[in-house]
Structure 1
Amino acid sequence: MSKAPLLQVENLKQYFPIKGGIFGRTINYVKAVDDISFHVNEGETVSIVGESGCGKSTTGRAILRLEEPTAGRVIFQGQDLLKLSKAEMRKKRKDLQIIFQDPFASLNPRQTVRQILEEALAIQNVVPRKQRRQRVIELLEMVGLNADQADRYPHEFSGGQRQRIGIARALSVEPKLVICDEAVSALDVSVQAQVLNLLKKLQREYNLTYLFISHDMGVVRHISDRIIVMYLGKIVEMGDKQSLFENPQHPYTRALLSAIPVADPRRKKERIILKGDVPSPIDPPQGCRFHTRCPFVMDRCKTEAPPMHKLGPQHEAACHLLEEGPVDYSQLLKEIKIS
């Protein structure tokens, strides 16, 4: 019998009302996340990737109820988080932590590192008061910082060091699931690699589970077990890392992968340039939401939303081209050129 997922998200929606008129009535909604479902198994890293505005960060915030979801279910360890009271959810947050994108904005500039970490320990009452000082030292050493740095303020650290403090704070309460919201995007490439390697090391040592949110497919490739691709509030493709990188089946995924830089200047790489801008989530296109920018658009794409098609044990994508199975895009492009 297979083990139940640590996190199961079902039909999650996050709509933000738009107020207008002299009475401030709701006149429309921003459909930031629109009916998505996925799961995360214990001990794995699942990444959500997409352009800015696709709904990936909103998904993470909705799971934690930092924004109250409009509809759906978020089942964590067999319990629906959306049915918990605020007091119950506050206690549950011990098991669900987040690492924010901006390491400087997420740390209180008036507190020392010791105070920041001790505050987290005190709120969730993880360790007795007398042991907190020692626990702070252990947390700093865990993320590659020194004990003598505990009484410094956030502005005295580099960006990479500040992010390590953010990681230490998230891990201080011994969570089961950590949501990494663009956790390395504000850092230099060399520092990104150090933080990613640290996250992987901590995952191995403490059996952590990550929901990793990023716009960078190169970063996602380095850390993920499975990948979810989002576009305009919808999941368009998801699968294990090998399937998705070696045989991407949604046109949008192919465009994202083509944007990954190649280190070898002699190696030619076909770049897929998408035309136009991402449509507004206030009034998304009918049918397939990607049809306004898709190079393979058909008439039915403009009226009929495609279902998710199973392409392998862990690989599925939402595209009308996939009704009869995986597509050979090199052959399809030849046929388009001939016609």
Structure 2
Amino acid sequence: MRQAQLLKVEGLKQYFPIYGGFLGAQVNNVKAVDDISFVVNRGEAVSIVGESGCGKSTTGRAILRLDEPTAGSIELDGVDLLSLNRGEMKDTRKEIQIIFQDPYASLNPRLTVRQILYESMNIQKHIKRKDREARMYELLDLVGLQRDQAERFPHEFSGGQRQRIGIARALSVDPKLIVCDEAVSALDVSIQAQVLNLLKKLQREMGLTYLFISHDLGVVRHISNRIIVMYLGKIVEIGDNDSIFENPKHPYTQALLSAIPVPNPKKKSKRILLKGDVPSPIDPPQGCRFHTRCPFATDLCKEETPQLRTVDKMAEGHQAACHYINEVSFDNLKIEQELVKVESLQSEDASYERVK
């Protein structure tokens, strides 16, 4: 059964102008996000992953119009968000909310939890005043906080508790889509697990839809239905959870997965080391943007930009942007299905040619 589409992003570009010279004229752009398209279906969790600077957080901010996109279209439940004026966008804010990375900086230190949760309800006016207190206590119950904590200030809570307040605030307006921008990266590992389990529980019970932005592949594997891999402002691979982890096709995705640490010290992993640094988004390479670091790059990769192509007809929706989609493979790389585990099945005396 095909899922109903909730978010549709087409040709999204987010350029930030660079000014210089004597008159302060625009001299160039930072191409943070450069012509990407994807969909998020109702009730699923789609994750965007990649190195720092790949454009994943900028994508989330552009979708919420916290930064005004340079070009493209963003449709939420059939409504083009970029066509809305300021007043119309304010009314639509309740449909799409965000959980920020820093659970302290995102909360007003001068407001109590009660005031923080009341603020969004007062702005959107979707709940009658007499019902707001009951709704506040309901939200605290949902995220695992005590009702008597409503009168406390953010500095009186731990990092994990503050992030729960952020989740409660996002839920207070009954959104259709929640953007989780590195929502657990600032937390201790044990607290990360608690918050992730909470997010999954809320999704299951309330039918929530997530756009989850993260650099942590272990976190992504735990919460995602589908995964989008970005590199230097472009989508290089997209597919369901199992397809990406079990059968990655783009060399960049393979390198990312090889970096997942192995929790068992007796088992060896084969780390793929990419040469060079990430190029500048001000002047990205022509052709495939990954070709400057890819050991399989040819002249074709330097000249022509690869488009997303279907990897396998059996794996519906699995696409990769590589000219040699079914030909490149790092020797002896085996990516296991278990969470946070990448290991080689070859014996210790087997030869392995390290990618330089």
In structure 1, what residue type is equivalent to 2:10? E
1:128 counterpart residue number: 128
| Secondary structure class of the residue paired with 1:94 | helix
- Trace 1:273-284 onto structure 2 (pairs within 5 A): 273-284=273-284
Label 1:2 to 1:263 Cα distance change in 2 as closer, same or farther (>3 A). Answer: closer
| Secondary structure class of the residue paired with 2:331 | helix
- Gaps (5+ residues) in structure 2? 334-350
Separation of aligned partners in 1, 2:154 and 2:256:
35
Over residues 271-307 of structure 1, what are the superposed CA-to-partner deviations in whole Å (9 max), with x where a residue is unaligned? Answer: 0111211110000011110111112111211111111
| Secondary structure class of the residue paired with 1:321 | coil
Label 1:156 to 1:139 Cα distance change in 2 as closer, same or farther (>3 A). Answer: same
Over residues 221-266 of structure 1, what are the superposed CA-to-partner deviations in whole Å (9 max), with x where a residue is unaligned? Answer: 0000000000000000000000100010001001110111111111
| Secondary structure class of the residue paired with 2:201 | helix
Separation of aligned partners in 1, 2:236 and 2:253:
8
1:58 counterpart residue number: 58
2:3/2:42 contact within 8 Å kept: no
2:227/2:241 contact within 8 Å kept: yes
Q: TM-score, normalised by structure 2?
A: 0.91
Separation of aligned partners in 1, 2:20 and 2:262:
48
Separation of aligned partners in 2, 1:302 and 1:51:
21
1:71 counterpart residue number: 71
1:54/1:231 contact within 8 Å kept: yes
Over residues 71-121 of structure 1, what are the superposed CA-to-partner deviations in whole Å (9 max), with x where a residue is unaligned? Answer: 000011111110111111111010100000000000000000100000011
Please report how far the alpha carbon of residue 22 of structure 1 lies from its aligned counterpart in structure 2 after TM superposition: 2.4
* Percent identical: 70
Over residues 116-155 of structure 1, what are the superposed CA-to-partner deviations in whole Å (9 max), with x where a residue is unaligned? Answer: 0000111111211122122111111110000010000000
In structure 2, what residue type is equivalent to 1:140? L
In structure 1, what residue type is equivalent to 2:323? H
1:151 counterpart residue number: 151
Separation of aligned partners in 2, 1:143 and 1:221:
22
Separation of aligned partners in 2, 1:336 and 1:303:
28
Separation of aligned partners in 2, 1:42 and 1:134:
28
Separation of aligned partners in 2, 1:294 and 1:250:
10
1:197 counterpart residue number: 197
Separation of aligned partners in 2, 1:329 and 1:111:
53
- Trace 1:216-255 onto structure 2 (pairs within 5 A): 216-255=216-255
- Gaps (5+ residues) in structure 1? none
| Secondary structure class of the residue paired with 2:203 | helix
In structure 2, what residue type is equivalent to 1:315? H
Separation of aligned partners in 2, 1:60 and 1:103:
17
Q: TM-score, normalised by structure 1?
A: 0.95
2:95/2:174 contact within 8 Å kept: yes
In structure 2, what residue type is equivalent to 1:204? R
Label 1:319 to 1:271 Cα distance change in 2 as closer, same or farther (>3 A). Answer: same
The question of 1:320 aligning with 2:320 is answered: no
1:99 counterpart residue number: 99
| Secondary structure class of the residue paired with 1:289 | coil
1:81 counterpart residue number: 81
Label 1:328 to 1:288 Cα distance change in 2 as closer, same or farther (>3 A). Answer: closer
- Mean Cα deviation higher: 136-145 or 306-315: 306-315
In structure 1, what residue type is equivalent to 2:331? S
1:19 counterpart residue number: 19
Separation of aligned partners in 2, 1:161 and 1:259:
30
2:251/2:328 contact within 8 Å kept: no
Please report how far the alpha carbon of residue 330 of structure 1 lies from its aligned counterpart in structure 2 after TM superposition: 3.3
2:343 counterpart residue number: none
In structure 2, what residue type is equivalent to 1:60? G
Separation of aligned partners in 1, 2:122 and 2:62:
25
In structure 2, what residue type is equivalent to 1:307? Q
The question of 1:40 aligning with 2:40 is answered: yes
Provide the aligned length of Structure 1 versus Structure 2: 335
2:112 counterpart residue number: 112
- Mean Cα deviation higher: 8-17 or 21-30: 21-30
- Trace 1:154-169 onto structure 2 (pairs within 5 A): 154-169=154-169
In structure 2, what residue type is equivalent to 1:61? R
| Secondary structure class of the residue paired with 1:150 | helix
Please report how far the alpha carbon of residue 326 of structure 1 lies from its aligned counterpart in structure 2 after TM superposition: 6.3
Label 1:187 to 1:266 Cα distance change in 2 as closer, same or farther (>3 A). Answer: same
1:330 counterpart residue number: 331
In structure 2, what residue type is equivalent to 1:314? G
In structure 1, what residue type is equivalent to 2:319? E
